[in-house]
Structure 1
Amino acid sequence: MTAERLDPRLHAYRFDLAGIGLQGRVEAARFVEPTMARIGVGQASLKEEPYDDARQGSELLYGEAVDVYERDGGWAWVQNRTDGYVGYVRGISLIEPGAEPTHRVAALRSYLFGGPDLKLPPRDLLHITSAVAVVETRDDGWCRLADTVGGSGGWLWARHLTPLGATARDWIATARRFLGAPYAWGGRSSTGLDCSALVQLSLARSGLAVQRDSDMQAQTLGTAVEGGMDAAQPGDVLCWPGHVAFLVGGGKILHANGHHMAVAEEKLSDFRARTMEKVGDVRAVRRPAVGGKG
Structure 2
Amino acid sequence: MLGLASKSVVPVRKEPNETTEMVNQLLFGEKVSVLETYKQWLRIESTLDSYHGWVDSRLIEIIKDDTDLNSLNDYIINDWLVEVKDLSNSSNLLLSPGSFLYKPVNNRFKLYEQEFEIQNSSITTAPPTAENLIKTALRFLNVPYLWGGKSIFGIDCSGFVQVCYRTIGKLLPRDAWQQAKHGQTIEFSNYATAGDLAFFDNEEGQITHTGILISPNEIIHSSGYVRIDKFDHLGIFNNQLGEYTHKLRIIKRLL
Larger Rg: 1
Counterpart AA for 1:126: L
Change (3 A) 1:144 1:234: closer
CA–CA distance in 2 between the matches of 1:229 and 1:136? 44
> Match of 2:52?
86
Question: Counterpart of 1:145?
Answer: 109
Give the secondary structure class of the aligned counterpart of 2:124.
Answer: strand
Determine if contact 2:6/2:61 at 8 Å carries over to the other structure: yes
CA-CA distance at 1:112 after TM superposition: 1.9
How has the CA–CA distance of structure 1 residues 101 and 88 changed in structure 2, closer, same or farther, with 3 Å as cutoff? same
Aligned residues: 234
Equivalent residue, structure 2, for 1:4: none
**Aligned letter for 1:246?**
I
Pairwise mapping of residues 247-262 of structure 1 onto structure 2 (< 5 A)? 247-249=213-215, 251-258=217-224, 262=225
Match of 1:178 in 2: 140
**Structure 1 SS opposite 2:238:** helix
TM-superposed deviation, 1:122: 4.5
Q: Which amino acid aligns with 2:156?
A: D
| Alpha carbons 2:5, 2:26 under 8 Å: kept | yes
Aligned counterpart, 1:37: 3
TM-score (norm 2): 0.82
Which whole-Å deviations, capped at 9, do the CAs of 1:260-291 have from their partners, x for residues lacking one? xx111122363395345xx5x20111111x3x
SS for the counterpart of 1:129 is coil
Q: Tell me the residue number matched to 1:13.
A: none
Deviation at 1:123, TM superposition (A): 2.4
Where has structure 1 moved over 6 Å in runs of 4 or more? none
Deviations along 1:183-241, one digit per CA (max 9) or x if unpaired, are 111111111111111111111122211111111122x121222x232432232111112
CA distance in 2, matches of 1:248, 1:58: 26
Percent identity at matched positions? 24
| Contact 1:101-1:131 at 8 Å conserved across structures | no
Q: Which residue of 1 aligns with 2:204?
A: none
Q: Does 1:106 align with 2:78?
A: yes
Root-mean-square deviation over aligned CA pairs: 2.5
Contact 1:44 1:89 in 2 (8 A): yes
- Higher-RCO chain (CA-CA 8 Å, sequence separation at least 6): 2
The residue type paired with residue 200 of structure 2 is W
**Residues 1:102 and 1:287: Cα distance change in structure 2 (over 3 Å):** closer
Gaps of 5+ in 1: 1-34, 138-142
2:198 maps to which of 230, 238, 242: 238
Q: How many angstroms does 1:182 deviate by?
A: 1.7
Deviation larger for 229-238 or 190-199: 229-238
